[in-house]
Each structure stands twice: as C-alpha cells, then as structure tokens.
Amino acid sequence: MQYIAKELFLHGNAYVLIRWRNNGSPYALYPCPNGAVSRVIVDSEWNKQYEINFGTGAEWHDDSDVIHLMGHSTDGLQGEPVWKYAAESLGLHRQVLEAANNFFNNSVRPSVYIKYPGKISKEADANLKIWLAEQAGGTINTGKPFWLTDGGEVSNINTTTAEDSQIIQGLGASVGDIGRWTGLSPIQLGDFSAAHYNSLSADNTFLYQRSLRPLLDSIEQEINYKLFVDGNTFCEFDTDEILRGDPLTQAQIANIGIQGGWILRSEAREWGGLPPIEGLDTPLQPLNMGTPQPQPGAATPQQPGVTANA
C-alpha cells in the first residue's frame, strides 16, 4: 500500500506485473518502477498494452498481465502526479512564506517607546538601555512594573498591523488548498484550530470517505478484475481501525449490535482488546422477535441430559 501511494503521488501511476502459472492462476506479483514502463497504448479494439523494460529488453504485456492504478488522468491511459497539479498552490504558498520572512526580518518593530521632556546625554542614554534590558527584557520580567526617573514616560506601540493579518491569513490558506487536492481535512493536515474531542469520529469518517475510499475502491476493483476472476475469492480492505471513533461511540455501537443480535459479545470484547470468555459466541435474540421454529424434517435439538423417546 505504501508503494502504491508513493508511486501515485510522485508519478501518478502504480504498475504491478502479474506472473501466471500454466493452469491460469497467478503465482507472483512484481512491482514495476515507472521508469520501466516506456509506453501505454490501445489497439483498434481498445485493448490496452504496456511496453515494459527491466533492462533486458522491452517486452509487451497485455492489460490482463498488469495491475495499473492511476490518479487524475487527462487521456485515460496514464495518470498525472499529484505534485504536478498541486505545484501552483504550493508555489504560491512558498512565495507567501518568503514574503513573510522578508517582511518581518526587514521591519522595525519596537514594542514601547520612552519619552523624556528634555535632551538626555549619550551616557544617560546608554545607561538607560542597559537598565531597561535588565529590568524589562526577557520572559522572566513579563508583566513586571518598573519606574523611570526624571520625568520619563513609557508608551505602548501596537505592533500588529493589517499587513501582519494578511500574511497570517495567507499562510493559513495553504491548508485549504492542500486539503482540496488531497481530500484531507484540516485536522489531518495539522490545523487544530477547529478540532475538539467530539470531532475525532467525524474526522476519521471524512478521511475514509473523501481521501482513502476512492483509492481503496480503485485498488479493490483492479485486483478483483485482474486476479480473482472466478468470483469465489475477492480483495477487500478492512477499514475498522480507520473508522473507529471515540470510546463512548464505539461502546454504543457495540451495545446496539449485541442487543440486535448482529454483533457477538465475543466480538465486542475483541474490539476492546479484552481476553475471550467462554459462552459469548452465541448471538442474543430480542424478545419481540420470538423463538425460531424448527424447519420440517430438521432434527429437534435436545437439552443436555435429556433422552428422546424412541
């Protein structure tokens, strides 16, 4: 899965070569680097073929011999890498970041100014700077009052400007851009400004539906179409861990399933990482559903220790 995700992001395509036995069953899967796939073409009957070269000469393979996963595509034959259509937004974010660095590095931003009624000497100015750094500089002196002599006054300067707000807003906008072409939520991208505990389950669902599910569907369909043609075997991803919500929601789901009879108590204990207990593998049956009647001709179950009459 990591190989497929990496290839799709960097190249827009992930290729896996299938090797078959004489009886038509697959026996090996070989990942193909994108550099080994020279061409992808279709013939007059729309059958896709791949020219693959592992360094020993080019070979042509039919579509049935190659698992091909691709991202966004403009021709239906090969996908485009994610970074290619994301480069514009990433480049804009880089320009904003460089502009922000230059702006703050080159700007003079004093937080206070000190005013005296008359002109002070250079010696007094130097002593005042040393004294001010000792009394008011650093985090240890935050909020600490100090007094000035000889009629000195201290005034605050508002250092937050409209330009600051615009730069901060521009830096934050890149999260939305990345989310649009990856299908990831701001929380998944590290923006926790709107995150809270109750949003964990909803965020996992968003990750599954918008980002992972389309990719997982493509992988499942391609593998099932190319490898498991008999219909008795199929590929399916287990997404229970991804969709796991907060403990309270999980407990409520397990309780509803146990009471409804479609979740076993042993399964609920397994989800919670608890050791198994004997006798919990029988599904519970709601009282309003009645007792199932035996089918005609079926053997009647006997209670332990009870012998049926001949």
* One pLDDT digit (tens) per residue for the chain, 310 residues: 677 878 887 888 999 999 888 888 888 988 888 888 988 988 888 888 999 988 888 889 998 899 998 887 878 888 888 777 676 666 666 666 676 666 656 555 566 667 777 777 788 778 877 877 777 666 676 666 766 666 667 666 555 555 555 555 555 566 776 777 777 777 777 776 666 666 666 777 777 777 778 888 888 888 888 888 777 788 888 877 766 666 777 788 888 888 888 888 998 888 778 888 888 888 887 776 665 556 566 555 555 554 445 4
Predicted local distance difference test score (pLDDT) of residue 100: 64
Side by side, which strands form the sheet with 13-20?
Answer: 26-32, 13-20, 66-70
Predicted local distance difference test score (pLDDT) of residue 211: 76
Which residue is associated with the tokens 């004997």?
278
Residues 6+ apart with CB under 8 A from 90: 83, 174
Q: What angle do CA 85, 40, 73 make, to 5 degrees?
A: 25
Predicted local distance difference test score (pLDDT) of residue 310: 43
Which residue is associated with the tokens 């996963």?
69
E strands, 21-118, in order: 26-32, 37-42, 48-53, 58-62, 66-70, 112-115
The b/e string for 273-282 (b: 16+ C-beta within 10 A; e otherwise) is: eeeeeeeeee
Predicted local distance difference test score (pLDDT) of residue 198: 62
